[in-house]
A and B are shown apart, each in its own frame.
Chain A
Amino acid sequence: KNQVEQSPQSLIILEGKNCTLQCNYTVSPFSNLRWYKQDTGRGPVSLTIMTFSENTKSNGRYTATLDADTKQSSLHITASQLSDSASYICVVSDMDSNYQLIWGAGTKLIIKP
């Protein structure tokens, strides 16, 4: 079964610190890997989309990396801000299932002042 697993499940850091969230997937072949940010009670918002041939993509203080050989991705957040408190969800597009998106359960990030 195609899966996307994220770690840690939750994370608390102090404002201004950096953090890295992990995503391991078994979806193969895949078309692209996405990271979404979801504030509590809101819809997800796309942060990055990487095709299988890309290794890294940045969006401001967010940098996503992808290692297609080990089937791992990470999302690095630099100089965290209180507004970064949210769930971060890793999503993989499954080429064998008509590009259906396979969603992870997310990492809940809390930034403390």
Chain B
Amino acid sequence: DTGVSQDPRHKITKRGQNVTFRCDPISEHNRLYWYRQTLGQGPEFLTYFQNEAQLEKSRLLSDRFSAERPKGSFSTLEIQRTEQGDSAMYLCASSLAVSTDEQYFGPGTRLTVT
């Protein structure tokens, strides 16, 4: 257990529905990252926050995806109008903004869109 928690661990939804995932980082960590991972591939960067500011978003992040970190603590990732191609593991990681920026990952949320 790295200290990063994600909820839910599994989500099954029908195409077209909206889903929201939550990530609680390690409490003293000021950076928070979202990644998406499909089977047999490494994680793909989606977005990251430093405190409450969203500093970078990947081109992978279509306008159906939105992430927030309202008070610089927990974060939510919402996917609107889900598509089957959104089926993946969604990983959250947190870190301290130091030179190596070691990231600690949560267990992930497995999304299945039927």
Q: Which residues of A contact B (CB under 8 A)?
A: 4, 32, 34, 41-46, 49, 51, 89, 91, 93, 98-101, 103-106
Which residue of chain A is the closest to B104 with respect to CB atoms?
A46
Q: Is B79 positioned at the interface, with any CB of A under 8 Å from its CB?
A: no
A43 to chain B: which residues have CB within 8 Å? 2, 4, 91, 93, 105-108
Contact A103 B43, beta carbon cutoff 8 Å: yes
CB distance from A110 to the nearest CB of B (A): 14
Bound CA span A44–B61, Å: 21
Number of contacts between A and B (CB, 8 Å)?
A: 47
Name the contact of B42 in the complex, choosing from A51, A93, A106 (C-beta under 8 A): A106
B30 at the interface (CB under 8 A from A): no
Beta-carbon contact of A93 and B101 below 8 Å: yes
State whether A42 and B108 are in contact (beta carbons under 8 Å apart), knowing that A89-B42, A103-B43, A103-B44 are contacts in the complex.
yes
Inter-chain CA distance A46–B2, complex, in Å, is: 10
Report B6-44 CB contacts with A as 1/0, cut-off 8 Å: 000000000000000000000000000000000011111
Cβ contacts A to B, 18 pairs, < 8 Å = A34-B102, A41-B108, A42-B107, A43-B4, A43-B91, A43-B93, A43-B107, A45-B105, A46-B103, A49-B100, A51-B100, A93-B101, A98-B56, A99-B101, A100-B45, A104-B42, A105-B40, A105-B42
Query: Which residues in chain B, 68-87, are within 8 Å of chain A measured between CB atoms?
Result: none
Bound form: Cα–Cα A46–B100 in Å? 12
Residue in B44, B56, B103, B104 with the greatest tally of chain A CB atoms within 10 Å:
B103
- Known interface pairs A43-B107, A93-B101; A105-B41 also in contact (CB < 8 Å): yes
Query: What residues of B have a CB within 8 angstroms of the CB of A32 in the complex?
Result: 100
